[in-house]
Amino acid sequence: MSDCFMDTYKRTGLVFAEGRGARLLTDEGKGFLDFTSGIGVNSLGHGHPALVSAIATQAGRLIHVSNYYQTREGLAAAEALCRASGLERVFFCNSGAEALEGAIKVARKRGNGMDPARNVILALEGSFHGRTITDLSATGQEKLRKHFGPFTPGFRHVRAGDLAALEAAFTDDVCAFLFEPIQGEGGVVPIDPAYLQRAAALCRARGALLMADEVQCGVGRTGSFLASSWAGLEPDVVALAKGLAGGVPVGAVLARGEAATVLGKGDHGSTFGGNPLAMAAVGTVLATIKGEGFLEVVAAKGERIMSAIRSWGNPVVKEVRGRGLMIGVRVSVSPDEVKQEAIKRQLLVLTAGEDVLRLLPALVITDEEVDEGLEKLRDTLGAFTGSQGP
């Protein structure tokens, strides 16, 4: 491995050269089944013909103009994204971290406009909202924050599910409640819909914004365009990224109602945000995901994977949870070791939280690829049963 990189990632040593669907090939031609899709990014799998063609055509036509101008691709992507999500306006950026920064700026400007003391954002313990200092300030995981203080003030963390704590924390200085409907990095932890509905009601009653971080769980990942919909929520602000352009870097801050008009000229910006190359990719991903029956198939595939894993009765598996193709398998052994065993069987999986294997396959994964991956996963987990009791 090269010493030229900062040592920020626990790399596997694998070097990939190409991919098709849910399959990846190393530079030595060894094939792997990919149940990670680049941490939920390659929503259309690798080498999807429509996405490749849209990017290639767009690259030849126009890659970038500044945001002082519009492009056909940008207009089409913005309209398609507002239609798909049910929100009214969008700001495009380049990553999840930036999408969260944008959402936080909406909440802060609106709160400050109501009362200069109204600047606290409530967020959840166990959450992950990105790696910038302000996003880490919102993130409810001490292990990610420990070396990087001082942090941006104005964030307060509460334990998900604890209604009394939520009500106590919801003081007059709160301008927004920020949540992931399913916490991804925290361990694929679905947040109780009744708790989220109460948080939404408190936001309405107190004039605070309900802000969903759907960077990981949005854009069809759970079998619904927005995961917030499963809890019957209509957030004022939604942050998206990851799967939105199938692998081309993009992020989006969406807003509805009053929140949609908070940011005005000069309040925010991004040099690369909304460039036509990324927008062409967004258009293709949205057209595919919004196709007839697509999301139902995602939901059904997820159910099939989850019930297959449960049916193995493997004592190492403590719980299978998630929705659609965002799946967490809580295990009684080191998830990192399981990941390494899976690699020996040419299967790629992710970990999350302390004790969770995370599966985020491409939304277009075929039944055959699912079967093959499940077989490899069963075999992988089987390697641990001898050494571990229930």
Ligand X SMILES: Cc1ncc(COP(=O)(O)O)c(C=O)c1O
Residues near ligand X (CB under 6 A) are: 95-97, 100, 128-130, 180, 184-185, 213, 215-216, 241
Distance CA 178, CA 298 (A): 26
Closest CA to 288 of 362, 229, 233, 231: 362
Q: Which is nearer to ligand X, 248 or 374 (CB)?
A: 248
Q: Which is nearer to ligand X, 215 or 282 (CB)?
A: 215
Q: Phi/psi at 32 (nearest 5 deg)?
A: -130, 145
Least CB distance to ligand X at residue 97 (A): 3
Asked if residue 273 lies in contact with residue 65, where contact means CB atoms within 8 angstroms, the answer is no
Q: Which residues make beta-bridge pairs with 211? A: 178, 237
Least CB distance to ligand X at residue 19 (A): 20
Q: Which is nearer to ligand X, 19 or 96 (CB)?
A: 96
Q: Phi/psi at 155 (nearest 5 deg)?
A: -125, 140
Least CB distance to ligand X at residue 31 (A): 26
Distance CA 71, CA 330 (A): 45
Least CB distance to ligand X at residue 294 (A): 22
- Residue of minimal Cβ distance to ligand X: 96
Q: Which is nearer to ligand X, 80 or 241 (CB)?
A: 241
Per-position DSSP letters for 123-171, written without gaps between them: EETT----SSHHHHHH---HHHHTTSPSPPS-EEEE-TT-HHHHHHH--
Least CB distance to ligand X at residue 182 (A): 9
Least CB distance to ligand X at residue 297 (A): 23
Least CB distance to ligand X at residue 321 (A): 16
Amino acid identity, residue 43?
S
Q: Which is nearer to ligand X, 87 or 138 (CB)?
A: 138
Q: Which is nearer to ligand X, 103 or 166 (CB)?
A: 103
**Ramachandran area for residue 351 (φ above 0: left; ψ -120 to 50: alpha; else beta):** beta
Distance CA 349, CA 209 (A): 35
Distance CA 255, CA 232 (A): 17
Q: Where are the beta strands (DSSP E) in 163-310?
A: 174-179, 182-183, 189-190, 209-213, 237-240, 251-255
Q: Which is nearer to ligand X, 82 or 100 (CB)?
A: 100
Q: Which is nearer to ligand X, 95 or 224 (CB)?
A: 95
Distance CA 14, CA 346 (A): 11
Amino acid identity, residue 319?
E
Helix (H, G, I), strand (E, B) or coil at 176: strand
Least CB distance to ligand X at residue 307 (A): 25
How big is the chain, counted in residues?
Answer: 390
Q: How many CB atoms lie within 10 A of CB 14?
A: 13
Q: Which is nearer to ligand X, 219 or 317 (CB)?
A: 219
Least CB distance to ligand X at residue 289 (A): 18
